[in-house]
Chains A and B, each alone.
Chain A
């Protein structure tokens, strides 16, 4: 073909050659496009882990915000300390108390959500290529942080009691055999996101012992600690092993996600570095929202509000489990969470939750495909259902729709002889 005079092409991005290699995976995707539809009210979204903030008393919150402005606007509107406001750090101790966690206010670093705490820990601890062990599956937000720091992410199998110690030991041995060292173990022991599983105390002890023996630092992510449906508040690993475990807590699930306030409890030397890293990242967490959280905790019956949330989520969990039992086709299995926001479904052989998502969205139901919770492409036959936001009747409707989607998908797989059908 004859060419006209050459002209230079455009990639519509003058920086395309300049990006760090870690930005390679930051791109548009069909999955994200489908989630844009999930935000519409017609869609029953069992996808996002959005706390049901409608259960908060807005008037009460207005009075809390007013009080902060009235009492100390000068502080609320000013920069603050990189470690976080001392008054809130004292209040955090009260929030952790029901779990058995004790600490000194100086042990605590306030962060912009626990997501920021995870980011700071990895920033301080990991070079590119360092090995981070995570559960199989693991929280998508944490995986995003680990990827951003170019960590070598390895998944460790879970069983009904969470992270499997034998698999953990085997993975550590495998990493050692490769001439590498495991730098971090990231775990969500209570009401796991996305698996909905909780580690019993004995299991936690085993994992901590392995970490001690192998000299691995544990990140214990515990945002759902107080949202237990069976009155059991699980004692964090960090309550008994403060030097080996960095504990991450959050107000997103027990007050409001919009405030973006979380915290880390870290061993002394690491905590000092986290403070410096926090300052480098954002100078300081928002004084305004810190003071709102602190005022709320000091003046309101926050435990009663947690109980309200817990009751709502328990009803929704029950609705989900009943609907799954009533409507899911044979061959589908799911976890039974005793707290938190999520249940993890395993689909029959041949089903691909990622490929099925467009059909689900066209049936006005959304979920998160399992692949999002893995760094290595696993999870195609899994999906996460969140029961935290839609009311029970909508959850039931969503599961019915999902059941129809699965029937159609089964027909399609059978027609084309894909998978085990």
Chain B
């Protein structure tokens, strides 16, 4: 089998994507798969035509990689591609819409305010920020509505910190999401889907050194402690797995997804976000879940790639 692994691109998550791409590529090569790593740019389609892969494996983060655009292009060009279809990707990428779907599915979703910069400009930032604080309370999390790796995300403790956090978040994107900062046990549930059905992997519990599981904590080995399986009760484990599967199905995702959740002191499980293209770096959550399940990264991706039914 000849596989084109797409990684890189122009988003702020380029480096993460390249690292994921290299790791998965090597894991597949170890299984005897012929792998080509392709950085995505204007030459993507000519490059793919030249390589003529049997399957394309996109590991590109950021807007183009996760909002369905790249998948749309690959579908139009007729490539058999691993992962969620573009329509599902688009919905998952839009956090407010994904939140609505989660809420409609009966999942606890933190109250959130999602606004573009234009709204603050037209309607007056001071009043809007004041209202946001009244509505959501402090501390709150401010982050770009799109994108991952916690880039541009801040925890705001006091009113005076909020404008600066907004500026930081808007530097990464045109729309910002504000949510209450929920303290509790942060977990990630990884989902695999193949012909045998949808299953979850052991839950990863995340204990970062910083208040927020930020970029430093995500990609510096040693700055976060992970517990796999998570130190939660069987009941909570069951419930969290159910939520992840529910979200995978409700959003119409395919092959692979990761749902991030937080369990508060009362044992309520809150939905944070779902990722259709989870990181596969040395410090990422998905490979840890795969290892804890007694599986091998190369075997998992090889199985997904060989069972694609497009």
Identify the A interface with B (CB < 8 A). 1-4, 6-13, 15-16, 19, 27-30, 32-34, 36-37, 40-43, 352, 355-359, 361-362, 364, 409, 411-413, 415-418
Query: Within 8 Å CB of B207, what residues of A?
Result: 9
With contact pairs A1-B236, A358-B151 given, residues A36 and B170 touching in the complex (Cβ less than 8 Å) = no
Q: Which residues of A contact B265 (CB under 8 A)?
A: 1
Bound-state CA distance A364–B11 (Å) is 10
Q: Say whether A412 contacts B117, CB under 8 Å.
A: yes
Residue among B18, B216, B263 making CB contact with A1, cutoff 8 Å? B263
A30's closest neighbor in chain B, by CB? Answer: B215
Q: Which of A1, A32, A43 contacts B15 (CB 8 A)?
A: A32
Interface core residue of B215, B228, B263 (most chain A CB under 10 Å): B215
Point out the residue from A12, A30, A34, A416 that lies within 8 Å of B125, measured CB to CB. Answer: A416
| Cβ 8 A contact of B121, one of A7, A27, A364, A411 | A411
Number of residues from B at the complex interface, CB < 8 A: 58
A4 contacts which of B12, B170, B216, B234 (Cβ < 8 Å)? Answer: B234
Asked whether A33 and B224 contact (CB < 8 A) given A3-B233, A12-B283, A417-B125, the answer is no
Q: How far is the CB of A356 from chain B (nearest CB, A)?
A: 6
In this complex, the member of B220, B224, B237 whose beta carbon has the largest number of chain A beta carbons within 10 angstroms is B220
The answer on a CB contact under 8 Å between B220 and A358 is no
| Interface pair A7/B12, CB less than 8 Å apart | no
Determine the chain A residues whose CB is within 8 A of the CB of B117 once the complex forms: 411-412, 415
Majority SS at the chain A contact face: loop
Contacting residues, chain A, for B228 (C-beta < 8 A): 7, 10
- B41 smallest CB distance to A (angstroms): 7
Whether the pair A359, B171 counts as a contact (CB closer than 8 A) is: yes
Q: Does B229 contact A (CB under 8 A)?
A: yes
Inter-chain contacts of B227 with A (CB < 8 A): 7-10
Q: How far is the CB of B163 from chain A (nearest CB, A)?
A: 4
In the bound complex, do residue A4 and residue B232 qualify as a contact, i.e. CB atoms below 8 Å apart? Answer: yes
With a CB–CB cut-off of 8 A, which chain B residues contact A352? Answer: 167
CA A128 – CA B120 in complex, angstroms?
A: 49
Given contacts A1-B236, A28-B218, contact A355 B223 (CB under 8 A): no
Q: Let me know if B121 and A34 touch, CB within 8 A.
A: no
B164 surroundings in chain A (CB, below 8 A): 416, 418
B104 at the interface (CB under 8 A from A): no
Q: Known A37-B11, A361-B12, A416-B167; judge A28-B125 contact (CB<8 A).
A: no
Chain A residues, Cβ within 8 Å of B226: 9-12
The answer for the CA separation of A28 and B267 in the assembled complex, in Å, is: 33
Set of chain B residues within 8 Å of A362, measured between Cβ atoms = 12, 172
A257 to B15: give the CA distance in the assembly, Å: 24
Complex contact A36–B14 (CB within 8 A): yes
Q: Which chain B residue lies CB-closest to A356?
A: B171
B231 within 8 A of A: yes
Contact with A along B224-262 (1 / 0, CB 8 A): 111111111111110000000000000000000000000
User: Which B268-290 residues sit within 8 Å CB-CB of chain A?
Assistant: 282-283, 288
> Does chain A have a CB within 8 A of B126?
yes
